[in-house]
Amino acid sequence: MTPIRFVCATVLAAALAFAPTSAFSQDTPKAGQPPTPEQAPAQPPTPEQPPAPPPAGEPPTTLGSAVSNAKVFNPDIAVIGDFLGAAGTNKVNPVPALELHESELALQAVVDPYSRADFFISFGQEGVNLEEGFLTLTELPGGLLTRVGKMRAAFGKVNTLHNHILPWTDRPLVTQNLVGGEDGIDDAGISVARLIPNPWIFLEATGQVFRGTAGADQAGTALFESTTRSELSYVGHLRGYHDLTENANIDLGLSYARGHNGVADGNIADPASLVTQLYGIDATYRWKPLQRSIYHSFVGRGEWIWSRRDQADGLQSASGLYVSGDYQVGRRWFTGVRVDRSAHATDASLTDTGASFTVTYWPSEFSQVRAQYRRTNYETAPSIVSAANEVLFQFQFSIGAHGAHPF
């Protein structure tokens, strides 16, 4: 038993020798170090305080409302580019081989519950031009819709359309010869329109008064040109619309315009300029089947215009027309044809004729690509015709929120 007792005594002595040293090393600091205070238990996390409520009478401000408030004071902004190219021959009315024909900046916004403002600024090869800029008053007594500013006159259909809305790369001959070319009747003035209630069709009458200036034809002769403050120009338009079926409708219009043309009347005692009067009839037929509306549609258009222009050599009575049809052959593809004929406003004995064929592809609602073959016979003198054969192509694109155009 002696060896067993010896071993047990040895193990017990070793345990007593090491145990106090370990405990002492945890509770007693080393020489030269201050004693470490006992650590306090961890505090529970402080709950997050809710934000202070807004002052009485003020609504709470959130990020969404801040963005909405900022949008209220900013107009809808859009930029539309119109790039044109041409190949072929045209000795009478040539256009550049390549050009950014026009860039349009549109600014549109509601001013207050009673009005809205629309501005369209065009940037072209000849500089910057305010194409339209007007205020529309929507809550006047008697159901009158009033516009004040610079605007395109409500004469026919083509004159009311901006370039990027046209179904062609150009404007018809009758517009170029008789209605002031590309600019058309676009002037500062006042417009008043009113719906005429009746149980049969949508009927709208429009009356407009302008300063008295308008665009020019291909020869540079102005349609309207006032020489005094009192020589204003006037435009009237009557529009009727009716749904023929659930898939088709028809739009008819009668137009009249009168203004001075800048040619002196020869009256020395009371000098003034002579007068030009325009009469017009327009018709538009639309077909768009409800079940296949994104794949097939058809639009037929036509206008006839009669010009009576007083000149020093007598009255010039000229007329012209165009007829066109555009058919949608697929979801993004359109094809069309147009036939033109128009006499000259300053010399009714001369008549231009032409025909065009177009193919248009829409990658999306924000861009389009168009090709147009155009043949025009310009009568430059009696029985002398200059033929032009051209292939035109167009790229259009838009960015931003561009509002809807008149239907």
Tokens 């010869």 -> residue: 177
pLDDT band at 264 (very low <50, low <70, confident <90, very high): confident
- DSSP per position, 237-283: EEEEEEESSSSEEEEEEEEEEEEEEEEE---SSS--EEEEEEEEEEE
pLDDT band at 43 (very low <50, low <70, confident <90, very high): low
Residues facing 399 on adjacent strands: 79
Q: What amino acid occupies position 100? A: L
Does residue 36 or residue 199 have the better pLDDT? 199
Euclidean distance between CA atoms 366 and 393, whole angstroms: 17
Per-residue pLDDT, 178: 97
328-384 pLDDT, tens digit per residue, is 999 999 999 999 999 999 999 999 999 999 999 999 999 999 999 999 999 999 999
Tokens 């179904």 -> residue: 167
Closest by Cα among 53, 42, 50, 124 to 83: 124
90-134 pLDDT, tens digit per residue, is 999 999 999 999 999 999 999 999 999 999 999 988 889 999 999
Residues facing 301 on adjacent strands: 284, 324
pTM: 0.81
> Does residue 5 have a pLDDT over 90?
no
What's 291's DSSP letter? T
CATH number for 138-400 (one of 3.20.20.70, 1.25.40.10, 2.40.160.10, 1.10.287.1120): it is 2.40.160.10
Q: Which two tokens stand for residue 381?
A: 């003198």
Per-residue pLDDT, 218: 83
151-179 pLDDT, tens digit per residue, is 999 999 999 999 999 999 999 999 999 99
177-193 pLDDT, tens digit per residue, is 999 999 999 999 999 99
Q: Give the sign of the dihedral formed by CA 253, CA 256, CA 257, CA 263.
A: positive
Per-residue pLDDT, 66: 53
pLDDT band at 407 (very low <50, low <70, confident <90, very high): low
